[in-house]
Amino acid sequence: MIGDVRSKPSWISRNVGGWLTAALLLAVWPANFQQALDGRPYSRTGALSSPALLWWRLPLQVPMILMALRVASGSGAPDSAPAAVRPG
């Protein structure tokens, strides 16, 4: 019984965490797109000074958003359902 009680908060927090992560990534995507359009790099020198990095991060956000949604739906983690709900 104690194992069932402890597994429910983990399942709920994973679900909520997935939705919040997806929402955060979707919320910052327009700002990242605007920064790429403006061409303002992170720094004036070094590896982060390349304007190409501003464009490369836009498509890289898509798999992160999809993974967050997958975790939120319960199919992204192997132990996503509480022990009381898992078959077997």
Per-residue model confidence as pLDDT tens digits over 40-87: 777 677 767 788 888 888 999 999 999 999 999 887 655 545 555 555
Strand runs labelled E in the chain? none
Q: Is residue 80 part of a domain?
A: no
Q: Which two tokens stand for residue 40?
A: 């303002």
- Residues 74 and 24: their CA atoms lie apart, in Å, by 19
Q: 């898992």: which residue's tokens?
A: 86
Q: Is residue 79 part of a domain?
A: no
- Residues 7 and 75: their CA atoms lie apart, in Å, by 16
Under a CB-based contact definition with an 8 Å cutoff, are residues 65 and 22 in contact? yes
Q: Is residue 78 part of a domain?
A: no
Q: Is residue 22 part of a domain?
A: yes
Per-residue model confidence as pLDDT tens digits over 6-45: 555 577 888 899 999 999 999 999 998 998 898 877 767 7
Q: Look up the domain containing 44 and give its range.
A: 2-73
* Predicted model pTM: 0.66
Domain count, the chain: 1
Q: Whats the size of the chain, residue-wise?
A: 88
